[in-house]
Amino acid sequence: MPWSVHAEAVVCPVAPVQHLVLPHLKAALRTGQPVVIAALGSSSTWGAMAGDIADSYPAELQDDLARVLPDAEISVINRGVGGEDAGREDARMARDVLALEPAVVIWQVGANAAARREGIDHFSRLVRRGLRRLRAAHVDVVLMDNQRSRMLLASPDNRRINAVLARLARQNRVGLFSRDALMRQWQKSGATLDDFLAADGLHMNDRGYACTAAALASAIVQAAK
């Protein structure tokens, strides 16, 4: 079974690199400018159920990018708030995200909408509104869909929400980093969901966060070439 080493104590299943287009990031790295990547989202961005905030996916992503791009000055800022939905994230986007003047915004959204059955049309309108705000700020945008967890897979809305995010990414010409596709690939490699999920059956454990960050870092590095 093929594996890739993420860090000293974490081994991740190999997965295909997901395609992202990040022109602002690429231009900033080419000219040696400092880069801010803002991670907007809810509890799985903040790092719920991780052993430490340093084990959240944004913190792991910061470490990964520092290793593979040692000459670049890249800061990954965690703007996750547990329990939030697309509407609340959009409402604080200017203050918490755009004020950082990021080159890239990674927007993890949809898990709470699926868990709470908020309604697909309502969810779509909120994300579309947030995307208009982000695109007006001229930043690279990456939507991140839902993790494959027991709780979310039991939601009738989960698959439709992931489909909405994929469609909105295509329509708005922004990136999509699919945790659903990534975790499907992990399962095809012989791993189980429990290898990457915390005991609550919803959030990732430290290995899940680390391996998500490793895959995302690979996609970002590929896009920056």
Looking at the chain, the whole-number percentage of residues with pLDDT higher than 70 is 96
In the chain, how many domains are there? 1
**Which residue has tokens 């200017």?**
94
- Decide if pLDDT at 114 tops 80: yes
- Decide if pLDDT at 153 tops 50: yes
Query: Following DSSP, what letter does each residue of 162-224 receive, concatenated?
Result: HHHHHHHHHHHT-EEE-HHHHHHHHHHTT--GGGTB-TTSSSB-HHHHHHHHHHHHHHHHHHH
3-state secondary structure of 143: strand
Instruction: Please report the pLDDT score of residue 6 as a whole number.
Output: 47
Instruction: Please report the pLDDT score of residue 118 as a whole number.
Output: 81
Distance of alpha carbon 25 from the chain centroid: 16
Give the structural domain span for 96. Answer: 3-224
Q: What pTM does this model have? A: 0.94
Instruction: Please report the pLDDT score of residue 117 as a whole number.
Output: 84
Instruction: Tell me if 13 sits within 8 A of 3, measured CB to CB.
Output: yes
Which CATH number belongs to the domain containing residue 169 in this structure? 3.40.50.1110
